[in-house]
Amino acid sequence: MAELAIIGGTGLTTLRNLEIDHREVVHTPYGEPSGPLTFGKIRGKEIIFLARHGYGHTIPPHKINYRANLWALKEAGASRVIAVGAVGGIHPDMSPGQLVFPDQIIDYTWSRYNTFHEEDLDHVVHIDFTRPYCEELRALLIKGAQSAGQDALETGTYGATQGPRLETAAEIDRLERDGCDMVGMTGMPEAALARELDLCYATCAVISNMAAGRGEDKILMEDLTGNLGVGMNRVRTLLEEIIPGL
């Protein structure tokens, strides 16, 4: 059974280096995941892949059924999840195409289903979320990037915004004052739901653009997708590097 799942974000709806075995449509008590789960092998190791926005990239961040996605992966046997996602860079050391492995999150999202512990409870549940990512998996990602010779940032705070619009320059100033180094729309509630299911979850963020007011005057969709190509190829290399050792 595959122990590792990969959730692909914008720019990573398929994994070119994945030898696909089969796809499976999964129904969960929380509704339908973003698409069928893809089962296959990377360098001989079984993995499960799911495209967060759907295989045709049609589901916007605020409409993703995060609960169904994580539930389906857990049900399929995953115990570790590498979540790949595009972000805007806020920290001046960042540049488009670079990889970052965030170690903290600030959640600005609203009105998303953000817990499995909400109905038919025996007792109220408060998960520990002091360190929101699985440090063991983060360490593997960091080591993998080092051995692949990639210039990746090893820490950073991920500000999760609601979207689907991008932020104003003043909102990014506020995020920076709060301590955010990068901004994305899918980091939450995904990370918290993974923790509720006891999944070892870490994010591999790819900087697709500098955030509003930090680079070009206007952020164009073409810039987002263009820079992602380079970054996602780095992700593919990184996955090939670390998967055999998992």
Q: Which residues of this chain interact with ligand HPA, rule CB under 6 A? A: 86-88, 161, 166-167, 183-185, 208-209, 211, 224
| Least distance in angstroms from the C-beta of 163 to ligand HPA | 6
Q: Which residue is nearest to ligand HPA (CB)?
A: 88
DSSP structure class, residue 143: H
Distance set, CA 139 to CA 1, 5, 201, 213 (Å):
23, 17, 12, 32
| Least distance in angstroms from the C-beta of 85 to ligand HPA | 7
| Least distance in angstroms from the C-beta of 71 to ligand HPA | 25
**Using CA of residue 148, residue 150, residue 154, residue 157, what is the dihedral sign?**
negative
Residue with tokens 């996605």: 69
> Alpha-carbon distance 99 to 67, whole Å?
26
Among 144, 137, 146, 142, CA closest to 154: 142
Residue with tokens 């857990």: 74
Q: Which helix or strand (DSSP H or E) is residue 137 part of?
A: helix 135-147
If the CB atoms of residues 18 and 105 are measured against ligand HPA, the closer one turns out to be: 105
Query: What residues pair up with 200 in beta bridges, in sequence order?
Result: 80
If the CB atoms of residues 47 and 87 are measured against ligand HPA, the closer one turns out to be: 87
| Least distance in angstroms from the C-beta of 54 to ligand HPA | 17
If the CB atoms of residues 80 and 214 are measured against ligand HPA, the closer one turns out to be: 214
Structural contact between residues 65 and 50, judged by C-beta atoms closer than 8 angstroms? no
Classify residue 20 as left (phi > 0), alpha (psi -120 to 50) or beta. Answer: beta
If the CB atoms of residues 59 and 224 are measured against ligand HPA, the closer one turns out to be: 224
For helices 135-147 and 221-242, angle between their N-to-C axes, nearest 10 degrees: 90
If the CB atoms of residues 211 and 239 are measured against ligand HPA, the closer one turns out to be: 211
| Least distance in angstroms from the C-beta of 172 to ligand HPA | 8
If the CB atoms of residues 157 and 209 are measured against ligand HPA, the closer one turns out to be: 209
